[in-house]
Amino acid sequence: MATPAPTMTTEAHVLSILQQITGTDQVQRDLDLPLFERHVLDSLGMVELMIRLSEEFGVDISPAEIDRAQWASPRLIVEDMQRRVGL
């Protein structure tokens, strides 16, 4: 399991992973970007994101506990991950 670099904040690390999966830096520039409405993230991408975040942060994320509304924007994903890792 990889851990975020000590100098990288949880927010920066989550946004970096989200950018890699979506292929756009727009997720870093607009934290309120509606990911699904703008077709930046789809169901398959969401599952890939859950797996990557689980591996990177060492937390369990079940597809059954997340729906699109909870992860509708980069800001919501960052906030959820900050809660999960105890920040």
Per-residue model confidence (pLDDT) at position 8: 77
Per-residue model confidence (pLDDT) at position 7: 58
Look at residue 42 and tell me if it is in a domain. Answer: yes
Look at residue 1 and tell me if it is in a domain. Answer: no
Instruction: Indicate the number of domains in the chain.
Output: 1
| Whole-Å CA distances, 1 to 12, 56, 66, 77, 79 | 18, 6, 22, 20, 22
Give per-residue pLDDT as tens, 34-72.
999 999 999 999 999 999 999 999 999 988 888 889 999
Residues 14, 78: Cα–Cα separation, whole Å: 6
Domain CATH number, residue 38:
1.10.1200.10
Taking every pair of Cα atoms in the chain, the longest distance, rounded to a whole number of angstroms, is 34
Look at residue 58 and tell me if it is in a domain. Answer: yes
Tell me what percent of the residues of the chain surpass a pLDDT of 90: 80
Per-residue model confidence (pLDDT) at position 69: 93
Classify residue 13 as exposed, middle or buried by CB count within 10 Å of its CB (0-12, 13-18, 19+): buried
